[in-house]
Every structure is written in C-alpha cells, then in structure tokens.
Amino acid sequence: MSTPAAARPSVPAGEPRTLVVKVGGSLVSDKRTDDHLDAAAVRAYAALVADLVRTFPGRTVFVAGGGALGHGAVRGLDAADGFAALGLTRATFAVKWAWTAAFREAGIRALPLQVTAMCADQPSGAVADLTVVRRLLAEGVLPVLSGDCILTADGGLRIHGSDHVPGMLVDGSLAPVRIVTLTDVPGILTGTGPGGPVLPWVDPDDPSSAHALVWETAPWDTSDAMRGKVDALAAHARRGAECVITRGDRASASLHHLFAPMDQWPADVPHTLISRTRPAALSRTSSAPSPTGGAGATGADGTAPSPPPSDPRFTSARS
C-alpha cells in the first residue's frame, strides 16, 4: 500500500513533493500531420526525465502531449456520435507506449495508465481515482499519462486533453504539486518573436494579462494552443498547484532545476509562472534583449535580478 500522506517525509520549503512533467507534442512531433512522432526526440527527453526519477525517486509523474497522433484522432469528429472520441484512446496509448519503451530503455520502470479508466465526469467536474498513481510512486515507478476521452454524465465520451490531465494530480496526498509544461516557446511571449521575452507571472484568478498576449491558434491545432494551456494551468493553480510554462530542450544537461524552489531556477531558463503566490521578485523574463533595446532581463522594478543562490542538489539545465 502507498504511504499515508501524514507519514511521508517533509520536503524542503519551496520544493514540490510531486512534480508533474508534461512534454508537449510540439517538441516530439509535427502536429500539422496526423501520425508523426520523432523517436529520437522521445528518447532524448525520456533520458532527462529518467534522470529526475533516479535523483528524486517517487516524486515524478509524466504526461505526454498527444502531438500529431492525438490531434489527428480528434479532427472532424461526428457530433452526433457520443462515442466518436473513442479513437483518441487508441492514439494516445500509442504515444504513451512509445514513451514507456523509451523510459525502459533509459533504465527506469514506467507504467502507462489510461485516463479513461481512472477519471469520469461528476457534477463537480472530472474526478479521478489516484490509488494506482500513489502506489506506483511509493514503489518508485514512473506513472505515464496522456490526454484521453472520459465518460460523461450522460454516458458519452468527451475529450480530456493533455493540458487538463495534470489537474487529476492536484490532490492533498501528493501536495505540494508543481506542474511544468515543456513546450516549444520559453513561456507566454510578450514580444513578436518565438525567443522571448516572456511574461514572468500570471495570477490564476485573473489571467487576462496572459490572454492579451497569446497568439492566434493555428487551424490544425485542436487544443486551442497556448490559450488552452493558460486556461488549463490557471484552473490547476486555483486548486493549489504551482504551474510553469517553459521551453523544452532535449540537449539539456539536466532537468534537476524543475524540483528547485522557483527563486533558485537557473538564470538562463526563462519561464512563465502561474500561481496564486506572487514571487517576491519576479522571475527573469529572458536572456535576450528587451523590445525597447535593453541589455537583458530585468525584475519587476526594471533592475537586473541578482543571481539565485546555488544549491548543490540542483544542476543548471545547461551546465
């Protein structure tokens, strides 16, 4: 049986007990197609996550973005067929299986879990049974989740995308929970280019600052792109999670910083934090020049932030 929450060792202040890492489909596939999956990219990211599992055992849950396979499975669904979304289960299980195989190749135990069998709509919203997730974490096994379809109150199926899946894990027994979405941009962009700078913080109770910045969703994207991510993560943050959007880099030396307190993240990792807790000093926005021609990233007061204190447990993402 999994260890009761009250008996689990405490975690250092500012660290999550449970880290949910989502690797977005854009990092491992061309979402403009219906069936592309980059096996080399999957293996590279799997090796980084496997290192997290070995270094911080029993504290990581993985969520795979559906990518091309997931988007391809839900285009043009028959609205009259209450079970039309069933094909998403097959598509995303293929994605989960590719990741699971890569994790095993990287030397860790991983188990793909089917959200359809764990979660269903209730009057209060989607409700999940986390018994197996907690047991896997207690045994040091990596749970592998993805988007799926879930049973509705009227007996049909609806799409439950991968951006919404981490919300299943915002549970007292796993708290504090940090959700990190790795994607192809460094956060919510405030400029016109894909490299930044980014919005450092979003209040989940008023995400209008983020809504004003998100780019128009491409016609082939079925998940509402960044707008969908913002809305899903804001909902998770309102329930107590600490949520982060940042760029994924398969060539990173380490992802250990994902467990570090936010004020100890490396200066070369721009990100957007969505949390009810406003940072004392807003995170660095970008190492690139600002739109007004400034020399680099600045804090909330316009001054350059001080380097974060070093912690031997955490290594830089690019060291």
279: left (phi over 0), alpha (psi -120 to 50) or beta: beta
- Give SS3 for 227: helix
> For position 196, what pLDDT does the model report?
72
Tens of pLDDT, residues 21-50: 999 988 988 767 667 789 999 999 999 999
The two three-digit tokens of residue 317, written as one number: 């993402």
Among 34-43, 120-129, 293-302, the least confident range? 293-302
220-258 residues labelled b (16+ CB within 10 A) or e (exposed): ebbbebbbbbbbbbbbbbeeebbbbbbbbbbebebbbbb
Between strands 142-146 and 271-274, the pairing is unpaired
284 confidence band (pLDDT: 50, 70, 90) = very low
Q: Which residue has the higher pLDDT, 196 or 286?
A: 196
Average pLDDT estimate for 154-183: 93
On whether the CB atoms of residues 202 and 277 are closer than 8 A, the answer is no
| Nearest C-alpha neighbor of 160 from the set 236, 168, 245 | 168
pTM: 0.83
DSSP run (H or E) holding 94: helix 86-105
220 confidence band (pLDDT: 50, 70, 90) = very low
> For position 154, what pLDDT does the model report?
87
Residue type, 6: A
On whether the CB atoms of residues 183 and 215 are closer than 8 A, the answer is no
